[in-house]
Amino acid sequence: MIDAATLYGLCAALLVGGGVYALIVNPQPLRKIVAFNVIGNGVFVLFGAIAHRGAGFGWGGDPVPQALLITGLVVAFCATALAVALLLRLFDEAGSATLAPDARPPAAPEAGAGER
């Protein structure tokens, strides 16, 4: 039998792992931003599971992670907003949105594929 906290922990691991994978291999900045949010959600789910376990205090539920989690959500939201704002400005200025340093967008993903 698998208890709820472990199940949530495994889900968190899945989200973080998938997010890191997507953040590394996806060349489009918007997908990178979404991937960052997926990782962040994984971390928050993990924190929720830890709160449920009542870490450190032996309570039925620990309120401290919830307070931290809300702060974490606000920080992640700010980060996303800043990234999207930069992305929109970049699109307005350049007409395309890519992170490759020179004008060869496909170069970066191919190098990544070769690396694995």
Query: Measuring CA to CA, which residue among 92, 94, 89, 93 is closest to residue 105?
Result: 94
Q: How far is the CB of 1 from another protein (least distance, A)?
A: 21
The residue (of 11 and 43) whose beta carbon lies closer to another protein is 43
Give whichever of 2 and 114 is closer to another protein, judged by the CB atom. 114
Binding site residues, another protein, CB under 8 A: 16, 20, 23-25, 27, 29, 32-33, 36, 39-40, 42-43, 46-47, 50, 53, 55-57, 62, 64-65, 68, 71-72, 75, 78-79, 82-83, 86-87, 89-90, 93-94, 98-101, 107-109, 111-113, 115-116
